[in-house]
Homo-oligomer: A and B are copies of this chain.
Amino acid sequence: MTTNDPENPLEERVTRILSRIRERDFRLTPQRLTIIRILATSKDHPSVDEVYQEVRTQFPTTSVATVYKTITLLKELNEVLELGFPDGSNRYDGYRPYPHPHAICTNCRKIMDPEISSVDELSEEMRKKTGYTFSFHRLDFFGLCPECQRKS
C-alpha cells in the first residue's frame, strides 16, 4: 500500500518529511522521494547500501552519492537517525528519528526499539553528576535476541 492514509503512521512520516523538504525549498526529485519512502517506512534500519540497492530497482541509474547526499540532508533536518555501530557500519532510522534505546542482536543483527521509561532517570542522574546539559544521546545494548539464544 502506498496511499496517504492518515491513519497509517508510516505514511504520516513520509508526508511529514515531504512537507519539511518543501518548506525549506529543497527539491523533490523522484530519487529523493524514493529514498525518503524507504527510510521512513522501513522498520529494519537499512544500511546505505541496502537503500541504494532498493532505489536502483526503481531508478537503475541512481548513484550512491545521491543516497549519501539525501541522507545527509535528512540528518540535517533531523528526520533520520544514524545508528553508528561499533564495527563501523551505519544503519538508518527514518521512522523514529529521535534518540531512543536499541537492543541489537550481535548474531543476526536484528534491532528492537522498545519504549523505555527509565531513560529520563538515567539522563537526570548524568546531568546531576556531570553538570552537562544534553541535547542527544545514544543508548545501545548488544547481545542475543530471543531467537538466537535458542539456537545457541
Contact = CB atoms under 8 A, between A and B. Distances in A.
Contacts of A103: 126, 130, 132, 134
A60 interface: no
Contact of A126 (B84, B101, B129, B136): B101
Contacts of A138: 86, 138-140, 142
Given A121-B121, A122-B122, A126-B101, A135 B116 contact: no
Contacts of A119: 122
Nearest to A113: B130
A117 B123 contact: no
Contacts of A86: 82, 84, 138
A134 B145 CA distance: 9
Interface residues of A, number: 40
A146 interface: yes
| Chain A interface mostly | mixed
Interface in A103-152: 103, 105-106, 112, 114-119, 121-123, 125-126, 129-146, 149
Greatest chain B CB density within 10 A among A88, A130, A137 is at: A130
Nearest to A147: B131
Nearest to A142: B136
A103 B143 CA distance: 23
8 contacts: A84-B86, A101-B122, A103-B132, A106-B135, A116-B126, A121-B121, A133-B144, A135-B143
